[in-house]
Amino acid sequence: MDASGLALAAAITPPNPSSPKGGQLNKTMGKIKIKDLRALGYDQGPAIGLALHAMNRDAKALTKADKLALLGQVLASPEDFIEHELLNRVAEKLIHAEVAVVKPKLRREPGLYSVYGAENIEQGAKLQMATAMKLPVTVAGALMPDAHAGYGLPIGGVLATENAVIPYGVGVDIGCRMALSVFDMDPSRLRGQLDRFKNLLGEHSCFGPKEVFEDPGEHAVMDRPEFQEVETVKALKDKAWKQLGTSGGGNHFVEFGEVTLPQDDEPTGLKAGTYVGLLTHSGSRGLGAILAKHYTRIAMQHTVLPKEARSLAWLDLDSEAGQEYWLAMNLAGDYAAACHEVIHRRIAKALGRKPLAKVENHHNFAWKEVQDDGREWVVHRKGATPAGKGVMGIIPGSMTAPGYIVRGKGIADSLASASHGAGRVLSRSGAKNSLVSSKVRKYLRDHGVELIGGGLDEAPMAYKDIELVMAAQTGLVDVVGSFQPRIVRMDESKEKGNRL
């Protein structure tokens, strides 16, 4: 969009409900009509109706000529308006106008899938998984022991499809990630120098949508060509810059703790002993969330499924939208990894130490994986950890329960996957309504955990017993070591009644 287009776009404001005229357009400015839009090159379709509505109701500051000039720019470069408050829906319709609508039927019965720790998995998650196994593009599935109901695919659900990707099978927080740095330091220093370590987390981590660094630093991911080549990503680069090296809200955290290895681990080079660990959990921030919601809308518009399966709408990987989403998803995953790298780099520098080892893994992602018979499947792991043979990962517990450093066994029945954590036993609203702040704070003190921020929705009692979850997947991963949280920082902007 050129400078004149930016100025015109900025002049559009939503209607003011308190206005005597209800925000109606000043008639002296002149309305535009369908014939005006057809003359610009708009085809008959939903974009015309949306454009008329936006201009004739909301563009109070523009003349008819200005409105037509602006809509001409939207038609020429709809990707520039994908985040515009009033014209984003017009832009979306224009970008995806040529995608055909399909109405596939579900299979009558769900395909067979493996379940781990079934006795501790709620029925809602099992029903969601059964629905996912009815999709005509589904070829295999598995349900992890930390599973609970989500949107579309349950959290803890693993689903393999053929030549199709499901945006809600990946999730809203694309590429959500665990990252652990292990430092050659005596863990007793976490208690002996408590204020120092708390200050390090306060100075070098940011949480939520508004808290960002004045200088987010540099990272090669911001030079990726997708920021120029993928239309829906272009408008998000500034947001991604601002949020580089920050963490989201919810269950995301940056924490110091004790790493314990009972025996030497040759692949990581770590000797048996205890260390200081820095563990982070976060994803692709606003970049991933906007991309997920955008492509989920596109998938739902063009793969129209029965009501119970609506959120499992997919994009064919041969389609333009499917190819775009795949590029955008991979960029979001790499951006999430970059955010963790920036956090760990900043804190390691402040500590004056280089980590002895690092362990990282994604969840909320889809991978193209070739099977033994040569077929390529798209494997969605929504809240599930990759556990291919020899692949390292981290499975956290809760604020007070240990997490585990694991190495995958590559078991085919689980689609080479394991749980991504303990999993919830209380919903967020259930935790807020049933737990008491004072009792949770006492529980944290009794377990030797110092908490900065956080809320009742993330209290330890809201999570399953990590030991039961690990016992249900001994066949999927080998435990290499453990991580015990000691100083935890989470989002401090919790609403009243949900603060700890």
Gyration radius from the chain CA atoms? 25
Structural domain boundaries of the chain? 3-95, 176-286+317-489
Q: Which fold has domain 176-286+317-489?
A: tRNA-splicing ligase RtcB (3.90.1860)
pLDDT value of position 55: 86
Strands (E), 61-216: 114-115, 138-148, 155-161, 164-165, 177-183
Statement: residue 144 has pLDDT above 80: yes
Structure tokens at 119: 């006795």
pLDDT tens per residue, range 334-351: 999 999 999 999 999 999
Residues 6+ apart with CB under 8 A from 438: none
Q: What is the mean pLDDT of residues 448-455?
A: 95
39-63 pLDDT, tens digit per residue, is: 787 876 778 888 888 888 877 678 8
CA distance 109 to 256: 47
User: What is residue 264's three-state secondary structure?
Assistant: coil
Q: How far is the C-alpha of 64 from the C-alpha of 42, rounded, in Å? A: 16
The predicted structure's pLDDT at residue 5: 54
Query: According to the model, what pLDDT value does residue 60 have?
Result: 65
Q: With pLDDT > 70 as the criterion, what percentage of the chain qualifies?
A: 92
> Per residue in 175-198, pLDDT tens?
999 999 999 999 999 999 999 999
- Which tens digit of pLDDT belongs to each residue from 13-25? 444 443 333 333 3
Share of the chain above pLDDT 90, in %: 72
Listed residue (498, 494, 488) closest to 403, CA to CA: 488
Q: Mean pLDDT throughout 59-80? A: 83
pLDDT in tens, 386-434: 999 999 999 999 999 999 999 999 999 999 999 999 999 999 999 999 9
Q: Does the pLDDT of residue 27 top 50, yes or no?
A: no
Structure tokens, 194: 């408590």
Residues 90 and 87: their CA atoms lie apart, in Å, by 5
φ, ψ (nearest 5 deg) of residue 139: -120, -20
